[in-house]
Amino acid sequence: MDILENVSLVQREAILHRGSPLLLLAGAGSGKTLVITKKIAYLIKECEVPPEKIMAVTFTNKAANEMKNRVCELLPEIKPYRLFVKTFHSACLRILKENAHYIGYKSDFIILDEGDKLSIIKKLMKENEVPKRIAPKGIIKFISSIKNELEDSITYDRHIFEDIYNKYLEYELKENLMDFDDLILYTIKLFEKENSILNYYRERFKYILVDEFQDTNPQQYKLIKLLTKDAGNDLTVVGDDDQSIYAFRGATIVNILNFENDFPNTRIIRLEENYRCPRDIVEAALSVIKNNSQRHKKNVFSNKDGKYKIENWICYSDLDEAKEIVEEIERLFDLGFEAKDIVILFRTNSQSRVYEKELLSHSINYKILGGVGFYERIEIKDSLAFLRLMTGFKDNFSFRRTINTPPRSIGEKSLSNFEDFANSRGLSLYDAIDYIEESSLSKKALNNIKSYKSIIENYSNKIKEDTKINGGNNIEEIFFNFLKDIDYFSIFKSDGEIRMATANDNIKELFRAYYDYRDNENNGSINMFLEEISLYRDASNKENIDAITLMTVHNAKGLEFEVVFMTGMEHSVFPHYFALEDENGIEEERRLFYVAITRAKNKLYLTYSKRRRVNTGIAEQIPSAFLIEIPKHLIDIKEKNSYRYNSNNYIEIDEDAFDY
């Protein structure tokens, strides 16, 4: 296979470039994933670079897996496990697992999810009598800001926040725990503390590629600079400053705007052709984004002819807006479009309700992207905790989560006394059970805790035996027998049979994830799977369902649809009123709008309402400034004022405000 087949001249230039840092400015729909994957494949096949010498990092497991799969399609002889294509957090996890002892941790540390992190903070706040006026989530945000070197804006009661922060760090180290922020933070500290370790990874990864570079925060960029700056490594960063939309997560556009200053010999290559969107949509997007001052200049264009003109709808109300859109969707069905081809975008989640209602009333399937992730569900977290104990991790978090799951009549006082006993012996809670006869616990509590360990040990031995004899093929069956023995599903009885069945199906899905992982990682063990699992997130919606997609623009990043409805195009809705108070807020909102309309492969609707329900009631609206920035010859303005609702419910406004 010719790796350079079906690439443009400028894409070819980016693939072949070596010898100096490369900033690849890849506009929406310009084929950046194709360039990254073909560059990796070219290095391996044509330049004879061992796969193990290449490190590629991105932000989601989905993106990392897609890159890995594409490289393997180009190079079938290369096994997936030889490719170090990971998220930032997954890459740092691998590094820390190999070197944790240098920073005072054991190699079997576990990673806290947000729920566990919240529990710890609440516990520390209670122990330290933190005033109730301080919210746990506020402290969590403060801790994350400090770890990521971001502004925290805490002035009042700052000493309390700092005290809990220090106690949280002590707790993490004592319990051998890390949170997500720690993975990058401690990798940086490791590199800064141990120069030999840094040099080892500099030598190991001679070629480093960073995807979605515009979304990096200061710590992620610091990590990349440590690995590459003045080290002779071949660094390629790929991104689009026009799609930098995650400032609220700590991402900073400064990283991509100032990259050449940090790496003076940088070569800049621009991928300016949009292969996704029709010409009119690209022109409209460019006419808006060019009003931003903080950007690299790009001449984005498309050679794709459009079958449909951009439609801009003026609706009487937000309710009318929803009705008109759903009726238009039914017309689109008649034109041959499928539900999965269509997305309804909004600036905030609160705008979804009216669309859900209308879609339901028309019996149209829909799904909302976002919500509780797969690995955050109760039954999954419980199963992972049990499996960790069965496979030898023996961590206190897993013990605490499972000791009374299902309830075993072990009270909080008994658990507290047992924890004191374990601490006095310097043992984990799980190991301390072997000496529980020496504790002061009641006979009932003592026997219940011993029984708990006995059944876990029994099934632990079965898993070990199956792993040795059958390669772990029967772990799922063994685990379900365990759940049956402890009557696990009884905890969902009060929620009904459907909830019990859902829990059962979710646990089965967990094992499908494990078997997929095992196959992709060259017989990766159950232990390896459990180490990585905390990094996984799932949108909880099956991609093959034929349904209309509803989502915020932030969630739409990286996706594409045949038809896009961008709704709520009103001042203070989009751009959001929060942005109006921020110095750089409008520019970020403009980038967000650019992302929204460049999701459309075929047809684009921009809709707004003259009247909208807001927190204070029903308010008059004016069109978004972003609409005014689009040349009128590119859009077909349509009045959709059907006045379906009692006009007495709405404030009378100046209709001339909509004559833009």
Judge contact between 235 and 263, C-beta under 8 A.
yes
Whole-angstrom distance, CA of residue 272 vs CA of residue 302: 8
The torsion angles phi and psi of 441, rounded to 5 degrees, stand at -65, 155
Judge contact between 229 and 257, C-beta under 8 A.
no
Distance set, CA 258 to CA 229, 253, 529 (Å): 14, 9, 38
Catalytic residue of the set 304, 323, 599, 612? 599
Helix (H, G, I), strand (E, B) or coil at 492: helix
Say which DSSP state 148 is in. Answer: T
The one-letter amino acid at 527: N
Catalytic residue of the set 32, 68, 70, 612? 32
The one-letter amino acid at 304: K
Is 599 marked active-site? yes
Provide the pairing of β-strand 267-271 with 234-239. unpaired
Provide the pairing of β-strand 611-614 with 617-620. antiparallel
Is 204 marked active-site? no
Whole-angstrom distance, CA of residue 349 vs CA of residue 550: 9
The torsion angles phi and psi of 620, rounded to 5 degrees, stand at -75, 145
Is 33 marked active-site? yes
Which residue is it, tokens 């959709």? 640
Judge contact between 92 and 183, C-beta under 8 A.
yes
Judge contact between 522 and 81, C-beta under 8 A.
yes
Catalytic residue of the set 33, 60, 467, 502? 33
Helix (H) or strand (E) holding 565: strand 561-566
Whole-angstrom distance, CA of residue 32 vs CA of residue 204: 25
Which residues, including other chains, have CB under 8 Å from residue 575's CB and lie 6 or more apart?
A: 585, 586, 589, 590, 593, 624, 625, 626
Judge contact between 278 and 302, C-beta under 8 A.
yes
The torsion angles phi and psi of 600, rounded to 5 degrees, stand at -85, 120
Q: Is 513 exposed, middle or buried (0-12, 13-18, 19+ CB in 10 A)?
A: middle
Whole-angstrom distance, CA of residue 152 vs CA of residue 141: 8
Whole-angstrom distance, CA of residue 237 vs CA of residue 74: 21
Catalytic residue of the set 113, 116, 211, 280? 211
Catalytic residue of the set 37, 58, 236, 243? 243
The one-letter amino acid at 343: V
Catalytic residue of the set 212, 321, 395, 570? 212
Q: Is 330 exposed, middle or buried (0-12, 13-18, 19+ CB in 10 A)?
A: exposed
Which residues are marked as active site? 32-33, 211-212, 243, 599
